[in-house]
Structure 1
């Protein structure tokens, strides 16, 4: 009811097992707690917590302005609500090596199943914007080695994201991936690949699970789950999709209200009160409350 009945340690073990299962997992991005519950209700494998979405929710661009506290709190708010694994965006680690060690343990305490750390220069930029810069290989591998050493739960997944494709090309990406694997990464997130052939090349370069980022309006194409499965991708995230869909609907509703003075024409597109209450488990809260405060006054009171 208030919290997931599945312990964080179990979600982490489940996540590792799922990554090794040969299936292609789908983790849509949640922009708040109720959207995370909707993702679970629709039967998806897990939930993603995006730095870009958290930034947007705070009214900020995705250029490294969010803090460890803001990101770990959002991850905790979402992870406590769902029984499925949660993967969270940890940007560049929010500082140097000791800061990064604290980052890992904060996200562990938040109850997520894993995080990804990228090799951009801090402050970072959105992965699909031009003008990115990446750190040297030594710094990138130090980040991953520090993260792996800092974790207390061996099942907590440390995923290495590399943005080097847009800066130095595919051959450099494959070299960076091999170095990140050697440093102790549990999975690889190659950002902004340009074709399925490039995913195949990444698959050939590493034995680790691979993540594909299917974000709209980005540099790459939007491939289907089956297409990505066929080239060996283990996990697909859709980081900003639900926020974009919700904000698009919100814009249309506000335009209608401004034009017509009423939202009558939009009601059919809205989530009903009963569906919202179902997702929030009003009935469970009511049953809990009634079981404790279920009493009747005697006639003389």
Structure 2
């Protein structure tokens, strides 16, 4: 079931800061740190699962399975990238029901043409606003719980300007979206302009090296933003750490000098993955298992 805490936080005018997670190691680490929500990033999940660019190659089946594994493996509510809804109106209904059944609390649907592209990359094209508004209406009707949030994203800013992006955001709000996501505003002034026009909770995408400036949470809140995601911070950090570690291993021929041994021990990883529970189970049942009669030899 979706967590009611996110809808309640929005109702209470609170701010939700969500780190990007992309596999179960990143999800488990973030889950224990007290965040209000986690953001299951389409870029990161596609990269970690398929090793491919986030350009619409990952299917609904690929994504709902991975997003469900993350959601069910965490106590923290999960906001999930659901791309374009993977097709037309019937696909959108199927997507909403599938992600909700998978344990996700909120999904992001975007108005790009298929195949979609990552939001901070060039070449994105959008469908007519009226078509997307209909998708949002279908999505809002398809959910089983009101605690399942619909986040409507428009990618119109880059190709069609801020005014068109705001117009679309207002349309999607009227269609029933709970949260509005204007992708890729290019300055703090543009972000503030979005907040002056759209009065529903706003969603900020903070991508290191992306098209939008990184703005602190208190300033975002003052502009009207209520959710900020940091989708890339996890996988950029991990990729950099791996590159350094593997490079040192290749250069030294051993791992004795690696700082990773001190930063995150094997024992700590075992604890994160739940090995203490397995060991306790083994201790509890070892005597009973040892007293089982031997198997009879085949006659």
Aligned twin of 1:47: 38
CA distance in 1, matches of 2:157, 2:205: 14
Q: Mind listing any 5+ residue stretches in structure 2 that lack a counterpart? A: 295-299
Aligned twin of 2:171: 179
TM-score w.r.t. length of structure 2:
0.91
For the 8 Å contact 1:20–1:209, the answer to whether it is kept is no
Q: Deviations over 1:160-202 (max 9, x none)?
A: 0111111111111111111001111111111101122222222
| SS of match in other structure, 1:29 | strand
CA distance in 2, matches of 1:263, 1:229: 45
For the 8 Å contact 2:96–2:139, the answer to whether it is kept is yes
The answer as to 2:200 corresponding to 1:242 is: no
Alignment root-mean-square deviation, CA? 1.8
Indicate which of 268, 278, 287 corresponds to 1:285.
Answer: 278
Aligned length: 290
Greater relative contact order (Cα 8 A, min sep 6): structure 1 or 2?
A: 1
CA distance in 2, matches of 1:159, 1:279: 31
CA distance in 1, matches of 2:218, 2:281: 43
Q: Deviations over 1:103-151 (max 9, x none)?
A: 1111011100010100011111111111111111111111111111211
For the 8 Å contact 2:199–2:224, the answer to whether it is kept is no
Residue 147 and residue 296 in structure 1: after superposition, are their counterparts in 2 closer, same or farther (change >3 A)? Answer: closer
Q: Deviations over 1:76-98 (max 9, x none)?
A: 11111111110000001101110
Indicate which of 75, 83, 87 corresponds to 2:79.
Answer: 87
- Range with bigger deviation, 151-160 or 265-274: 265-274
Q: Runs of at least 4 residues of structure 1 off by over 6 A? A: none
Residue 296 and residue 257 in structure 1: after superposition, are their counterparts in 2 closer, same or farther (change >3 A)? Answer: closer
Return the offset for 1:296. 8.5
User: For 1:46-65, what aligned pairs fall within 5 Å after superposition?
Assistant: 46-57=37-48, 58-65=50-57
The answer as to 2:179 corresponding to 1:190 is: no
CA distance in 1, matches of 2:267, 2:177: 44
Aligned twin of 2:20: 29
| SS of match in other structure, 1:234 | strand
User: For 1:1-301, what aligned pairs fall within 5 Å after superposition?
Assistant: 8-9=1-2, 11=3, 13-57=4-48, 58-266=50-258, 267-268=260-261, 270-293=263-286, 295=288
Residue 297 and residue 147 in structure 1: after superposition, are their counterparts in 2 closer, same or farther (change >3 A)? Answer: closer
